Structure 1
Amino acid sequence: MDLQDQLKNLFPEHTPEDAPEAESSNVWLQDDPIICKYEKRKGKPITILEGYTGATEDFKILAKELKTTLSVGGSFKDDKIIIQGDFRTQIMEILKEKGFAVKRVGG
């Protein structure tokens, strides 16, 4: 017996509420595109996202989502998201699905 079935047996008159929306859907969308560029630092490739004009906390949430989705390391510094590796195409696809305008810079 599944946990959902057990709960239905315990509380038959309860109607479950819709699941709350993900935090990423609350991220403020902007008119200007986010700039996605590629650099090498100390010989290692990195992808930098900058140009977000919303709240810093929203940008931090977006950074965490990108890092977990791509299973890579990275950081958030000086209003920039720094992702380890060259993931420009994947990041641009993820951001476009979320509704952001993205501009590719450098190569």
Structure 2
Amino acid sequence: MDLKDQLKNLFPDHEEKDIEPTTEDQGLWLQDDPIICKYEKRKGKPITILEGYTGATEDFKALAKELKQKLSVGGSFKDDKIIIQGDYRDKIMTMLKEKGFNVKRVGG
């Protein structure tokens, strides 16, 4: 007797419902102000900086992880900023726009 059979014995009137898994995209906080996408050079190497997110820090960290994985690059999350190694402004902006974010391009 498995767990489902035991639960049916305990709760005979209960009907099973299929719950569709939710995607991570629905859990992110969409904001009115645009996320700022900047380009800088630090120690002679190009980096892309994303800042201006007003949602939860965990959501912004999850977004940083997803961007780094999709672009196959390194980066970090510090002081409420996502720092991506390399100049990926165009790709990042298209990814964020697909998710429903407002993005503003700043610098060079």
* Pairwise same-fold verdict (TM > 0.5): yes
> Which ranges of 4 or more aligned residues in structure 1 deviate by more than 2 Å?
14-18
State the SS of the aligned residue for 1:28: coil
Larger radius of gyration between Structure 1 and Structure 2: 2
* Residue correspondence of structure 1 range 1-107 to structure 2 within 5 A: 17-18=19-20, 20-107=21-108
How far residue 23 of structure 1 moved from its aligned partner, in angstroms, is 1.7
The whole-number CA distance in structure 2 between the counterparts of 1:69 and 1:25 is: 18
Shift of 1:16: 5.9
CA contact (8 A) 1:24 1:61 kept: no
Aligned-partner residue type, residue 57 of structure 2: T
CA RMSD of aligned residues (A): 1.4
Equivalent-residue separation in structure 1 for 2:33 and 2:53 (angstroms): 8
Mapped to 2, the partners of 1:21 and 1:75 lie a distance apart of 26
Structure 1 unpaired stretches of 5+: 1-13
Structure 2 runs not aligned, ≥5 long: 1-15
Equivalent residue letter for 1:90:
K
Q: Percent identity?
A: 78
In the alignment, the residues of structure 1 paired with residue 70 and residue 22 of structure 2 have an alpha-carbon distance, to the nearest angstrom, of 18
Task: Give the TM-score, by structure 1 length.
Answer: 0.82
* Corresponding position of 2:6: none
1:32–1:15 distance in 2 versus 1, CA, 3 Å: closer
- Figure out how many residues of one structure are paired with residues of the other and give that number: 93
| In structure 2, distance between residues paired with 1:39 and 1:83 | 11
Structure 1 residue matching 2:49: 3-state secondary structure: strand
State the AA in 2 paired with 1:104. Answer: R
State the Cα distance separating 1:24 from its structure 2 match. Answer: 2.7
